[in-house]
Amino acid sequence: MTKSINIAIALILVYLVWGTSYLAIRVAVQEIPPFLFCSIRLLIAAPLMLAFAFWRGEKLPASRKEWLFICGTAVIMQVFSSGFTAWGQQWVPSGETALIMSSSALWIAWFGSFGSAGDRVSKLTWASILLGLAGLVLLMSFGLAEQEIPFYGYGAILIAAFCWSAGSMVLRRYTINTQSIMTAALHIMVGAVLMGVISYAFERPEEPQWSSQSITALFYLAFFNSFLAYAAYYWLIHATRPVILGTFAYVTPAIAIMCGVLLLGEVLSAEQLFGSALILASVFLLVYFSRR
């Protein structure tokens, strides 16, 4: 298959899996402490990703500098992104989480412009970014005004989106000898250990009473999200342009909102729907103007 076909397949996989993942996370963290949930999920996925990397002939980092780089970016992309997403979803519905995470496309475009090697950002692109930020403010302000969702729930999701974008661009910009799937495998391993430590230190759950729903969500996320979709995304970081990489941000929210409405009975107010439309329009315009 040609590279363009491989990119299309990888993008579709990321769209579908990440679009349904927010619902699964929302279900799981109602019963499983979020950092414990993330640690277990990554511990299941880590040996699968590591075996896949070795099967592809990829090797472990050869230098201390590469190990430190991978550990540092793992903290950004796993603990501060995946961990904070799960923590925030204790309060924030799956559809709203997906919409806030869609701001990753805005941050990716911004980070991608940094430095002499960065992509040029036009005035129209900046206008698209500002439109998306206005949509984010509108989306979150209604939930805060109605006192339905605490500010720290929204804050955690915003930090998660920002950190995922920052980590993605650091991985893209600073080339190391370690290949993409091995990098993903080591990120997952580091994230599993660190979030396990965080859970032990700060989460003191009572005797677990996990339902079959939460356990199913856990294993679904371990295999499809943390293994298959992560492998596809980490490969895409180096295989395509930042603006194409960011397109997941306006496909996954649509899937997530549909799943939340149909399966969890989630509802967005008229104000939040308008804010959501601004976010999705901004990401669409961002991609359109970047291709011109």
pLDDT in tens, the chain (292 residues): 687 788 888 888 988 998 899 999 999 999 999 999 999 999 999 999 999 999 999 999 989 999 999 999 999 999 999 999 999 999 998 888 888 887 777 777 777 666 555 566 677 777 877 787 787 777 777 666 665 778 899 899 999 999 988 888 888 777 788 888 899 999 999 999 999 999 999 987 666 678 899 999 999 999 999 999 988 888 887 788 776 776 777 678 878 888 888 888 877 777 777 877 887 787 777 767 665 5
pLDDT of the residue at 121: 65
Range of the domain at 215: 3-291
Domains in the chain, number: 1
pLDDT of the residue at 128: 77
3-state secondary structure 127-144: HHHHHHHHHHHHHHHHHH
8 A C-beta contact, residue 124 and residue 285:
yes
pLDDT of the residue at 98: 85
Distance from C-alpha of 108 to C-alpha of 155, rounded to nearest angstrom: 18
The number of residues making up the chain comes to 292
Six token digits for residue 251? 């496909």
What's the count of helices (H) and strands (E) in the chain, helices before strands? Answer: 14, 0
Backbone φ/ψ region at 147: left (φ over 0), alpha (ψ -120 to 50), beta: left
The alpha carbon dihedral of 49, 204, 144, 137 has a sign of negative
8 A C-beta contact, residue 115 and residue 170:
no
State the number of CA atoms in the 13 A half-sphere of 38 facing the CB.
30
8 A C-beta contact, residue 258 and residue 81:
no
